[in-house]
Structure 1
Amino acid sequence: MSILKLKAYIAAVKFGSLTKAAEALDYTQPSISHMIHSLEDDYGFSLLIRSKSGVTPTDNGAELLPIMQDIVNRYEHLSEAVYAIHGLDIGTVRLGAYTSVCVHWMPSLLKEFREQFPKIEIHLFEGNSDEIHNWLEEGHIDFAISTIQRSEEFHFLPLVEDRMMAILPRNHPLSKNDTVPIEVFAEERCIIPYEDTHKDVQRIFKKAKVKPNVAYQIRGDEAIIAMVKKGLGISLLSELLITDHFQDMAHLPLAPDHVRTLGITTKTEIKSLSPASRTFIPFLQQWLKKWFYYICWGIKTIHVVTFRKNECFPPTSAALFLSTLGGKKGLLHTCFSAGVLVISFNIDLCEKWRKKAQFHQFLYT
């Protein structure tokens, strides 16, 4: 069996074109066509329907496609395992992730990973919940960073908790509250994401038996945030998604509190993943632990010391931390020095702040 023939067929189905498959695999179009014809001769039936508009799989081809994909994946795992035995970190990781993870984690994470493992390629696929589910099911990605999918179908390794927040225009009457009752969404004009993009939002409403008063239903996160800023309604998104917008709109936790858990989602057990993937996942776990977080309790003040190895404290994280601990109310002193942030607060509200701080400790420890 030729792995190249299987790759040629898989690429042809993926792109719907022999020419695009050839470009992706760095072969000529006649070579791709010859490999697929050879595969059809081996099997004794057609695998592709060829037309002027492109190619599509036959029923038999569609039935064999996931098996072919699994064979190719296992062959790549075998190659990586051989390299690993020789002490070489070589391979490919196909990773799916939500937009919030791609925007806020991946740039720094992938930069650091590439510096340490330059011969491991990362193929990043950005998608919503349904897309990630399908990619996992069809074997297009090795694993995903997502919220938990259907538990009976996939394995899930929790990483962090991401708090769900009500977002409101800055001048909204509710913006002065400490929390927003979930029932408010049945009364206020709401800008709600589609279920295929944010299943966690819909899950919260269903659990609370609240039917939101939908004024607009939008697929894009940035569009939702922009509409909230313009006063067109309120919405519900995760804290990771709105980190860069804390100064432009009000953001309050729900009552009762809700979080989504982000983690590693796989179709097989993690120990069955490729060596490259099993190198990346522990690296990700350690990367998330690079935030150090300390609370020092004084007689009249609370001092928070936090830093990240070899990096200055990001302004967005500073804003997040201040909002987590109740904004600037009670703030006595802020000091940046050598990448270390020290924030001192009046201790009068420390119990309230401590509860909030503990909830967000995953961001720093």
Structure 2
Amino acid sequence: MDVTLRQLNVFVAIADHRGFGTAAAALGMSQSSVSHSLASLERAVRGELMRRTAPAGPTPLGDALLPHARATLAAARAFAAAAAARHDTAAEGAITVAVPPTAAHGLLPRLLRLWRDNAPHVEIRIFEGFAEEITQWLESGTVDAAILIDPDPVPRGAVPVATDALEAVMRGDHPLAGEDSIALADLLDDPLLATTSGAESQLRELHALAGVPYRPTQHIRELGTLLCMVEAGLGVAVVPSLAGSMLPGGLTLVPVLPRVERRLLLTGPATRPWHPHVTAIRDLCRETGPAT
């Protein structure tokens, strides 16, 4: 089968940009060249990969082959970077790093400063997503590295970049807002608003340790929405302490007992060699140690 990296790049670009014209603009190609490249790839695989609709979307065959195209392109980028690094360890290049929302707000600025100051030749592009998305992106080749929360098993080569704990978030006028810490059972009189953005398994663990049933009144995906609901007086929430940087002025965090921690680790993919720039930023994190 005669398939080229250019064809795969076009296929992925059309899928990501959901159109032939937008993919052409992103790739710096003419729309006719994009169309011809995809058509050649479709002849090679003997089937249609993208629907010619607005917006464009992958066919069932396209959905099946898209992860393989991403992984192939990621491996090709890593190959080129590794070859360049043999001659110049400071060779410029770009990598993508996926992060969960709490890490994006509470941890990422510190990491980006560290990487910028010590590896200025590496361009870091950030993808923000939820835990289940991030794992898929990493193994499919959509991203080159990711920050994972309490992965099991711990990926080989991963390094911890932060440790945080679950804390109650409440309005500043809540009767418990001034306490040094509170027991989870003390929150039972308040409606519990639960986030599903990277902390629900730890929240369930907290309730199990406290011997308290886990019965949230609402499940909220977006952490920002959750905080707005707490600010509106609709309940309290238990969130990772890294979310503290997102709090509006009227809310406060109070440590919750029993203490339940999360570990955030930076890793590359488990199923293919790492991009050398991922190894470089990983080593920088290892030297500085995790944030607490």
What residue is the counterpart of 1:198 in the other structure? Answer: 199
User: Alignment RMSD, CA only?
Assistant: 2.8
Cα distance change on mapping 1:52 and 1:269 into 2, 3 Å: closer
The answer to whether the 8 A contact 1:92-1:121 is kept is yes
Q: Tell me whether 1:68 sits opposite 2:59 in the alignment.
A: no
Cα distance change on mapping 1:249 and 1:83 into 2, 3 Å: same
The answer to whether the 8 A contact 1:190-1:214 is kept is yes
Q: Which has the higher contact order (CA 8 A, sep 6+)?
A: 2
Task: Give me the whole-angstrom Cα distance separating, in 2, the residues matched to 1:287 and 1:236.
Answer: 29
The answer to whether the 8 A contact 2:162-2:265 is kept is yes
* Paired positions, count: 287
1:114-263 matches, cutoff 5 A: 114-151=116-153, 155=156, 156-193=158-195, 195-205=196-206, 207-208=208-209, 210-243=212-245, 245=247, 248-263=250-265
One-letter code of the match for 1:109? L
Any idea what SS the aligned residue of 1:165 has? strand
One-letter code of the match for 1:83? A
Task: Give me the whole-angstrom Cα distance separating, in 2, the residues matched to 1:56 and 1:243.
Answer: 37
Further displaced range: 124-133 or 164-173: 164-173
Cα distance change on mapping 1:57 and 1:218 into 2, 3 Å: closer
One-letter code of the match for 2:221? R
Distance apart, 1:176 and its partner CA: 4.3
Distance apart, 1:50 and its partner CA: 2.9
Cα distance change on mapping 1:54 and 1:216 into 2, 3 Å: closer
What residue is the counterpart of 2:84 in the other structure? Answer: 83
The answer to whether the 8 A contact 1:89-1:276 is kept is no
The answer to whether the 8 A contact 1:94-1:141 is kept is yes
What residue is the counterpart of 2:277 in the other structure? Answer: 276
What residue is the counterpart of 2:47 in the other structure? Answer: 46
Task: Give me the whole-angstrom Cα distance separating, in 1, the residues matched to 2:59 and 2:169.
Answer: 48
Q: List alignment gaps of at least 5 residues for structure 1.
A: 290-361
Q: Taking structure 2 as the reference length, what is the TM-score of the superposition?
A: 0.84
What residue is the counterpart of 2:102 in the other structure? Answer: 100
Any idea what SS the aligned residue of 1:135 has? helix
Cα distance change on mapping 1:105 and 1:175 into 2, 3 Å: closer
One-letter code of the match for 1:283? L
Any idea what SS the aligned residue of 1:174 has? coil
Further displaced range: 93-102 or 243-252: 243-252
Q: Taking structure 1 as the reference length, what is the TM-score of the superposition?
A: 0.69
Identity of aligned residues (%): 23
Bigger Cα Rg? 1
Q: List alignment gaps of at least 5 residues for structure 2.
A: none
Further displaced range: 172-181 or 34-43: 172-181
Distance apart, 1:84 and its partner CA: 0.5
Task: Give me the whole-angstrom Cα distance separating, in 2, the residues matched to 1:20 and 1:52.
Answer: 13
